[in-house]
Amino acid sequence: MQSAMRVLLCVVEYLKNLVGGFQRMELKTVYFENPGEENTDEVLRIARERAAQLGIKTIVVASVTGKTAVKAMEALSKFRVIIVTHCTGFAKPNTQEFSEESRRIVESKGGTVLTVTPVFGGLSTAMRRKFKTHALGDIVASTLRIFGDGMKEACEIVVTAADAGLVRTDEAVISIGGTNGGADTAIVCKPINAIDFWDWKMGEILCKPRFL
């Protein structure tokens, strides 16, 4: 029995050396009682602290009107900030929801504003409106909304930012999404292009609403 145990321990030690040891991490995820704007300041604080810990240089933030964007430029002043907005016409034809004043503030503080068609929307939304049927983008978006609207946004904007060439796919970023005009979700991930979406992996969930 002792001989068998020694052999087993030797095998375990060999495997540990082979794969670099059995490793795990215990990380903190913050859960908010409610979704929405009331969490914005705390989300930005959490993102700032984790970015500093991981040496992350870029933070991607979803913002519709620009209110969250302006707050992000203040709270994340030491980082490269990319703001992703709705496309023009998202709410109604020929209308851009992101205010010109917010755009001016973001750009004056060194931020980048990306106005782009949502990768999960676009033609999928057109299919739903015209033909009353759901396409692939709707299914992906609805699945991610199981974790909250903020999670869907956080996942979507890193893809659009990668497709726009604003972030690299081999460097981790923090992505921030939200609900009803404010931030409530933050994740750590490496961005990916839309054509490779099914190979995408999420790194860490920093915070999100609890939904209980």
Per-residue pLDDT of the chain (212 residues; tens, 9 = 90+): 556 566 566 555 655 554 555 567 889 999 999 999 999 999 999 999 999 999 999 999 999 999 999 999 999 999 999 999 998 888 899 999 999 999 999 999 999 999 998 888 777 777 787 888 878 888 899 999 999 999 999 999 999 999 999 999 999 999 999 999 899 999 999 999 999 999 999 999 999 999 98
pTM: 0.86
Residue ranges per domain, the chain? 25-209
Burial class (CB in 10 A: 0-12, 13-18, 19+), 134: middle
Residues 6+ apart with CB under 8 A from 50: 56, 174, 186, 188, 204, 206
| Separation CA 45–CA 77 (nearest Å) | 12
Residues in the chain: 212
Task: Assign domain 25-209 one CATH number from 3.40.1380.20, 3.40.350.10, 3.40.190.10, 1.20.58.220.
Answer: 3.40.1380.20
